[in-house]
Copies of this chain bind each other. A is one copy, B any other.
Amino acid sequence: MVDHFGFFDTRTFKQRYLVADKHWQKDGGSILFYTGNEGDIVWFCNNTGFMWDVAEELKAMLVFAEHRYYGESLPFGQDSFKDSKHLNFLTSEQALADFAELIRHLKKTIPGAKGQPVIAIGGSYGGMLAAWFRMKYPHMVVGALAASAPIWQLDGMAPCGEFMKIVTKDFSKSGPHCIGLQWLTNTLHLCSPLTSEKIPTLKGWIAETWVDLAMVNYPYACNFLQPLPAWPIKEVCQYLKNPNVSDTVLLQNIFQALNVYYNYSGQAECLNISQTATSSLGSLGWSFQACTEMVMPFCANGVDDMFEPFLWDLETYSNDCFNQWGVKPRPYWMTTMYGGKDISSHSNIIFRVSLCSPGCPGTHSVDQAGLELRKAACLCLPNNGDLDPWSGGGVTEDISDTLVAINIPEGAHHLDLRAHTAYDPQSVLLSRLSEVKHMKKWIADFYSGAK
């Protein structure tokens, strides 16, 4: 159903999902259900090795469900993003209902699936969905593993400046002058001509680039948001060490810095300021979601961080959203819907929080060089740790016996979801063991009828 919550609109759409049942056993098995987030599900599938790793142990069928309005799951095909009328059904509630209907469908159509427990798994926004799915549809999933899920980044639950502070901290460690970036307002090698009204876009694009870099400042070369070298922030900062140069030179330097992020492969002919990450991520859809439900207040003061100061101003934000999409956000709605900080009556959710900067999730086709580089692993430790900018809005402490927070000091955004390798740091191994233990308990409880 395009609209689960009304009966006027009876249109349906094709939702894409992937199933892997190599290790699945009908007798005593389980179903691991990836609650797809803002992007192509194949990409997430290839970047969620954790599920593949535990499949055999949990006798699990793997299901990866694509989120509506992303990848190939477009309710109205080409027209899906046409206007706010077509986008009306892009909400987390509809996505969760899709997941519920999909599970119902699978249990009905796959012999042996009906009597099996399902566990929701997701990272980032998908982690939020996994947690919310367990909260709202506990009859559908016996538990949820929510990795790097900033459910408390919404609706003022975390200070708006925290995120940019963490990004800045990650940069400042690569040299004392690397944070003198904020006064840049000019042009570069761009794909389309820069006009005066595009200046804010350019500035936003540059700032977003630094944010993305903080999210993928990984100790080895990999391709997650973009193909990048090891420790890309360090790489970037080598061009930005001296702010005391002429404007022309500085711009040239900035260009070199941006090139690290956007053209490490050397194949880009120009820089496209309308895109900051892999096209597997649906930035358009996310922009709409951020303008409706998923309002995450951000701000910077230029003192505690390296960005041009900007306030969190809901009214401006709201007007911008209206101009772009014809909708206005309801920032408090998510708290009303999902409980905000008051979630203690729920059960069986693991909140996995990475305190380090995010890394490149393992893939099944990771090359040897990548594997070798993992020896270095994530070197950031609590005392000198690069923080995942998203950790500020995460659940970092146990809420109850069954609402558990697992912090990984050496972890990274999504790190626990990538494939196991011989080079995983000890803390990651331990927390994986703990996660599997919880999941096994949920499954055992299901079969014993205890729940």
Contacts and interface: CB of A to CB of B under 8 A. Distances in A.
Interface string A78-91: 00000011011101
B136 A87 contact: no
A57 to B, nearest CB: 24
A292 interface: yes
A336 to B, nearest CB: 5
A138 interface: yes
A332 interface: yes
Given A101-B336, A104-B332, A336-B104, A345 B5 contact: no
A139 B339 CA distance: 5
Contacts of A101: 336
Contact of A346 (B138, B340, B342): B138
A451 interface: yes
A332 to B, nearest CB: 7
A16 interface: no
A68 to B, nearest CB: 13
Interface in A286-316: 291-293
A17 interface: no
A440 interface: no
A287 to B, nearest CB: 13
Interface stretch (A7-15, A187-195, A196-204): A7-15
Nearest to A291: B7
Most chain B CB neighbours (cut-off 10 Å) among A8, A293, A329, A348: A8
Given A339-B138, A451-B344, A87 B333 contact: no
Interface residues of A, number: 48
Contact of A327 (B8, B84, B330): B8
Nearest to A329: B7
A88 B327 contact: no
A422 interface: no
Contact of A345 (B84, B93, B139, B292): B139
A380 interface: no
Nearest to A104: B336
A230 interface: no
A314 to B, nearest CB: 15
A328 interface: yes
Given A100-B336, A100-B337, A5 B93 contact: yes
A6 B345 contact: no
Contacts of A91: 5-7
**Nearest 10 Cβ contacts at the A-B interface:** A139-B339, A8-B88, A139-B342, A138-B345, A7-B327, A7-B292, A6-B88, A5-B5, A8-B84, A100-B336
Given A8-B87, A101-B336, A138-B346, 14 more contacts: A4-B333, A5-B93, A6-B88, A6-B89, A6-B91, A8-B88, A8-B327, A100-B337, A104-B332, A104-B336, A137-B339, A138-B345, A344-B451, A345-B451
